[in-house]
Amino acid sequence: MVIMRILVVEDEHKIANALKQGLEQHSYAVDVAYDGDSGLTMAQTEPYDLIILDRMLPGSIDGIGILQAIRKENIHTPVLLLTAKDKVLDRAHGLNAGADDYLVKPFAFVELIARVRALLRRTPQTTNTFLTYEDLMLDPENMLVERKGQRIDLTAKEFALLEYFMRHNERILAKDLLMQHVWNYDADILPNTVEVYVGYLRNKIDKPFKGQHFIHTKRGFGYYFGVQK
Ligand code: CA
């Protein structure tokens, strides 16, 4: 199963944390930004499946500003806008700015989860397409991995790690980042868990194949996935 990633941008910590906890219980992976500026940066740099965006935010940019900025950059991640004001004008404003749906505060969590599900169903998921890197192919929908046309069997965790590597190829990824994104809500992660799983993955996708290895250790930083340049 592919884990859906949701970004919550909400300055009220109580609401943000309740959303994170509730969504994680529904098996979503959740990141939280507590102000507009970090919310915008995360929305621009991470491949989320959905963004839950509060309208009123501290910082130099509010929810509408973030929405306009990402749409301008052709980021079409579905956005559920949270707004404290129930004015017709506001709704129109939010939807015009590129929101896919909105929810008026205060709202019940069951209502939010229904909207989240509807939005995730509605949009064609990026996970429907194959990911390829050189002679490596990953099919997120069918949990299939092949290298040089040869099928490779991975566990769910190895698969999630490889998918993250392939989506973020040719850059250095800190161990903490991997821990946060691939293990997200596993409470019992040990400090060496990432190394252990990277080792498993290496034994399956690199070692049996002649030629280029894709997983490289960057001592003191983390890992690099890709052809060494
Ligand atoms: Ca707010």
What confidence tier does 125 reach under pLDDT thresholds 50, 70, 90?
very low
Comparing 110 with 94, the larger pLDDT belongs to 110
SS3 content of the chain, % helix, strand, coil (to 5): 40, 20, 40
Pick left, alpha or beta for residue 149 (phi over 0 → left; psi -120 to 50 → alpha; otherwise beta). Answer: left
Q: What is the mean pLDDT of the chain?
A: 87
Q: Give the least confident one: 113-117, 133-137, 182-186.
A: 182-186
Q: Ligand 1 being an ion, which residues bring their Cβ within 5 A of it? A: 11, 54, 56
Q: How many residues does the chain have?
A: 229
- CA 113 to ligand 1 center in whole angstroms: 19
- CA 116 to ligand 1 center in whole angstroms: 19
What confidence tier does 89 reach under pLDDT thresholds 50, 70, 90?
low
Q: Kind and range of the H or E element at 119?
A: helix 109-122
- CA 181 to ligand 1 center in whole angstroms: 25
- CA 12 to ligand 1 center in whole angstroms: 6
pTM above 0.85, yes or no: no
- CA 148 to ligand 1 center in whole angstroms: 50
